[in-house]
Copies of this chain bind each other. A is one copy, B any other.
Amino acid sequence: MSQPPPPRAFAEKLGGAPHSKASLRLWLRLLSCSMIIERRIRGRFEAEFATTLPRFDVMAALEREPDGLTMSQLSAALLVSNGNVTGIVNRLIEELLVVRTLESDDRRVATVRLTRKGRDVFQRMARGHEKWIDKMFAGLTEQQMEQLMKLLASVRHSIDEHEDEQPA
């Protein structure tokens, strides 16, 4: 969205407890921050590397596993949900940035991994990515960043604690 207004009118009409209003506003602010950053990163990947965020995400997951990943491990390791992992991997293979091998423990299951060229290409993109993100957070002090890390860890913890509660 273009602005991150707390949807106060909306929240007030619902008539809930204060914690619940605060939660709603917090979620909307969290979501809008995350969407704005993601949109900017997508734009930069396109402008500077003529590539996409899902493609970077696939390469980042492979970079973390030099021994390779099966396709299902790869899908599970992705940060950005993206439908067409197979298409992205096939394209990377065509461009010699990724290879598919049968060298894993279970020789029936193919694994994919970055080639040396793929690793080089990835490193260049990763440096850009890190630089863009750092600029976006440039206005925060290290102390603020640390606090934010801790608070987001508490959010994660809180979410996980309430994981089993299924819809009534």
- In the assembled complex, A145 has its CB within 8 A of some CB on chain B: yes
Chain B residues with CB under 8 A of A102: none
The residue on B at minimum CB distance from A9 is B64
State the CA gap A22–B150 with chains docked (Å): 12
State the CA gap A77–B35 with chains docked (Å): 14
- In the assembled complex, A165 has its CB within 8 A of some CB on chain B: yes
Query: Which of B10, B25, B39, B165 interacts with A149 by CB under 8 Å?
Result: B25
A145 near B34 with CB under 8 A, answer no
Chain B residues with CB under 8 A of A161: 138-139
Identical copies in the complex: 2
Chain B residues with CB under 8 A of A78: 1
- In the assembled complex, A130 has its CB within 8 A of some CB on chain B: yes
B140 near A154 with CB under 8 A, answer yes
Query: Which of B37, B144, B146, B167 interacts with A47 by CB under 8 Å?
Result: B167
Q: Which of A1-58 contact B (CB under 8 A)?
A: 1-2, 4, 7, 9-11, 13-14, 16-40, 44, 47-48
B79 near A26 with CB under 8 A, answer no
A79 near B28 with CB under 8 A, answer yes
Query: Which of B19, B21, B77, B145 interacts with A23 by CB under 8 Å?
Result: B145
Q: Using a CB–CB distance below 8 Å, which chain A residues touch chain B?
A: 1-2, 4, 7, 9-11, 13-14, 16-40, 44, 47-48, 60, 63-64, 76-81, 123, 126-127, 129-131, 133-140, 142, 144-149, 151-159, 161-162, 165, 167
